[in-house]
Amino acid sequence: MLTEMKEELFRFGIQLRCIEEEFVSEIRGYQDLLNSMRVAYPAAGIGSLPLGRVIGASKTLDIVEDLRRGINRVVFAPETVEPSGSDKMVCHDCGCGC
């Protein structure tokens, strides 16, 4: 999926890079999985945000679809992502949509 997205976004002049980092985290639910991935698009002022913060609640519980949705959101609609420090932040960035 990421290879396909890389090709799709390249047509718009956007370079998709995946950076793997080693860390240890206990995944106790889907929201933890969402927030173990971070999305950034500095050109649009989006720093490194947890995927759950970018997409809110998952509609499908499909990590591939959620990752695609998050990447497309920061690239094509960055104004819809609440900025860091916003008073509209979810209570604990878990992705539950609260």
54 within a domain of the structure (yes/no): yes
Domain enclosing residue 40, as ranges:
26-98
Percentage of the chain with pLDDT > 70?
A: 84
Q: What is the pLDDT of residues 40-67, one digit of tens each?
A: 999 888 888 999 999 988 989 999 999 9
21 within a domain of the structure (yes/no): no
Predicted confidence band of residue 30 (pLDDT cuts 50, 70, 90):
very high
Residue 86 and residue 63: Cα distance in Å, rounded?
26
Residue 21 and residue 37: Cα distance in Å, rounded?
10
Inform me whether the pLDDT recorded for 37 exceeds 50: yes
81 within a domain of the structure (yes/no): yes
pTM listed for this prediction: 0.78
Inform me whether the pLDDT recorded for 80 exceeds 50: yes
- The dihedrals phi and psi of 38, each to the nearest 5 degrees, come to -125, 150
